[in-house]
Structure 1
Amino acid sequence: MAEQEFKPEWATKDFYQVLGVSKDAPIADIKKAYRKLARENHPDSNPGDTAKHERFKAVSEAYGVVGDAEKRAKYDEMRTLYGSGGFGGFGGGGGGYRYTGGGSGGGFNLDDILGDRNRSGGFGEMFGDLFSGGGRRTQQARRPVKGTDVESSTTVGFTDALDGVTVSLRLTSDAACPDCQGTGGKPGTKPRICPECEGAGYVVSGVGGAFSMNETCPRCGGRQLIYDERCPTCQGSGRGTSARTIQARIPAGVKDGQRIRLRGKGAPGENGGPAGDLYITVKVTPHRVFGRSGDNLTIDVPVGFDEAALGAEVKIPTLGGAPVTLRVPAGTPSGRTFRVRGRGATRKDGTRGDLLATVEVQVPAVLDAEARAAVEAYRTAVAGKPLRAGLFEDVS
């Protein structure tokens, strides 16, 4: 959890009033007041109560400053210098805090003074580290957390993959425990501030020398509160599983093995955070006649020897449409591919690919007497034109 950054407007906030204590209250009274207010207004104890959530943030902000002796001293000094009456007060304008007291300089912008934390010797140096490292842990309200992403898969037919289809998916994902609503405490029991992190949700650990780092509190798991009695359903983890059925739209033109992302269809978020995403891996069953090559469909067209040699018009099917006539020129070799435009798969822009028809010349396995005589006559006619003569040229 990151440290709070200094905000100029805090110069005009009365953190003692927020906590309901006097300016000279001892630290023990400040801590007692904070714990009472934090317990009463914590989001886990008041789900859906926006007013108390905002109150909790204000209390945490105030305690993060005056609950620490060093920061409290700097805050008191800042309030003395820039509080009401110190320099004539602050006026609005331009989104900053502008001094409007006496003198002839026309005023100054508090944001300009306090915003430059690198200015040597200035007020930025004096107060810029008020909410940065080196001090005590400060509590922050739990931030919204995006839900986890969920993986699933589905199998669709060849035609459905081309046209698009809506499928039902049964999803199981991680979610807040349904009995304790993610608090980890036994329903009906009251929480208390975690004594390990004092409600910060994290602890500071040294990594050698002058360096330190923040780690999630091992006792409360970052929830800032603990329960003396754990939830019997989730054993205090605050987590459970959620099973639900959703309707997912598979877009037209999806390919076999393609991974589709559906935003916001994953696991629900925490503390008002957005849901995660759903990733669906699509498997496409093969078709008996058609194949797929990118946005194009493919088909193998058997033709007879006579059709390939003499030329022919051959009818071929299209997927979901009327048959088309393929004109096979005389002398077409086996393996030649013809293109039928606009009869392929649907693209993302709504246009369609082509149908690629590949000719396969068929050789009959059995010949009757008449057909054999015709083939033998053809052999006699071309006997003087050996097909394989070129194989023996320049061979050494």
Structure 2
Amino acid sequence: MHLSGYGSRTTVVGNDLENSPQASSRAAKKGSQPRQTTSGIHQTYTYCGKSHSTRLILPTNKPNKPPSSLLGIKKNRVSIKMADRRRINGPPGTTLPPVYETTDPIATPRERLANGIRGLFLKTGVTPTASGSAYMEIEPPLGQIKSQAASQSKTNGMKLICTVHGPRSLPRSAPFSPYLVLSTHVKYAPFATRRRRGYLRDSSERDLSVHLDTALRGVIIADRWPKSGVDVIVTIIEGDQEREASHSQGNEEWDMMNVLSGCITVAAAALADAGIDCVDMVTGGVAALVSSNEQDTTDADALSIVLDPVSLEHDKILAACCVAYLPCRAEITNLWVKGQLSPLDPLLHTKLMGRAIQASKGNYRAVLERLESNQPPSS
């Protein structure tokens, strides 16, 4: 076939490739027979005085079949499929999560005095890899200890651990800071409460971190470590009490006050163990306004202020106050008040804050005694 003005073109179709002039010329040069090729179309054309050749492969009548194991084809009535080695298969049968029997919480009256606080255990240097660390445990209420033998529900005290990493130099990408950069992180352990906690922090844990950062920022002498940072990480190993009972009574929000007080106290002990200079030893204290008459919360005779409150020991908690106090300097670095105060007494807010300061002073004496006992003997 000839193209007008553009040269000539020769087309070979089918299995006649071996009989084409090009195949014969190649075979003549090599001194052998033309090589058998697959079916297709071979075109040769001349364009602008030059010879060009193209080849198009056509599918054969019997295409190659892929392995049956890759396609999942049934062979001998058995389905063969590729195994997924990265998938963790569960049990073949269905399983149901265990359902525990719910028991009504046994509310026990408060056996401590109104100005009495619970004892605590403190130990420093529990994490050798950290710059400073401290472990603190607060005993459960006395009434709950006595009722454990008669009840299946168990109320434990609060357990916290704090680690301090630093001071250490900031990364090069961080902006210049002439002061020490403080970073606080408060997290519940997944097994700390009855309801399992998630991996990510919720709003309550972020609030605790903000309050802890405010309490420690006014204590650390930050200008002694320019271009440095320190991380304070507090992990709540066990909650203060049964969260289900507090949730049923509507007192779950008051538990955060005791948790924040413990976080402030254990973080101060960890900072002292790390050797970071502070203006004073800061400790937390909690006081609450409780009412013995749950029906009438405005009764002035039924209102009282107690230190270190526990939700299961009181019928109704109206307000609570948590402070971070410096005893030697008589200063407050953080103040958190929640609840509704009675309008009958305008000085009730001041009284509540004064009792919280009294609770922090009691914790300060206990922490100072523990730190002195943990010091190595002088040579």
TM > 0.5 = no
Q: Which TM-score band (shorter chain)?
A: under 0.3
TM-score (norm 2): 0.19
TM-score (norm 1): 0.19
